[in-house]
Amino acid sequence: MPGGPIYHFPPYTSDTSGNAFPNIYVGSGGNAAPADCGLGVAASLGADTVWQLRFPMPPAIPPGTLKLRLLALADASSGNATVTVSDANVAAGASPSAASLTSETQATVTWGAGDADTYKETKIALSAAANGNDELVVALAFNTSGWTLAAASTWIATVIWE
């Protein structure tokens, strides 16, 4: 039985160069609800940029594999975005800033013809063993290596089990 989604607390980035910013993506489809709010990443990313996320775990952990689900939006018809996730489970009484994060395999999200203004979904299995009532600490790094996306993008991050 799958579980989630769980949304993070308000995100934080220490980026001061404009590569990461809170963003509202407004789609061009024309309906009455065209906007999505998420983690903004600059076009033609100039430096590796990290969003810092905290996900509160429920009292009972659902069965299945813990994953970070990313939905990305960009007004683009070509280009790649590269993302590396690092994660750790942190219990109450422990320091989230001192937790040793495990780096997952880098993911590449590719835009092609017809992908402008559509959700691009990526699921990344996490190494952290989540425990009830703990915090999942996540560093969501957007990497310049392999980045060819020339449009600003908006990312929605949730945790799921499947």
Low-confidence ranges of the chain (pLDDT < 50): none
- Pairing state of beta strands 79-90 and 107-111? antiparallel
Architecture of domain 3-27+36-161: Sandwich (2.60)
Q: What separation in angstroms does the CA of 49 have from each of 13, 19, 40, 52, 85?
A: 8, 7, 11, 10, 12
Question: What is the predicted pLDDT for the residue at 3?
Answer: 86
Q: What is the C-alpha to C-alpha distance for residues 134 and 93, in angstroms, rounded to an integer?
A: 10
Sequence spans of domains, the chain: 3-27+36-161
Q: What value does the CA radius of gyration of the chain take, rounded to a whole number of Å?
A: 16
**Mean pLDDT taken over the chain:** 97
Classified as helix, coil or strand, 122 is strand
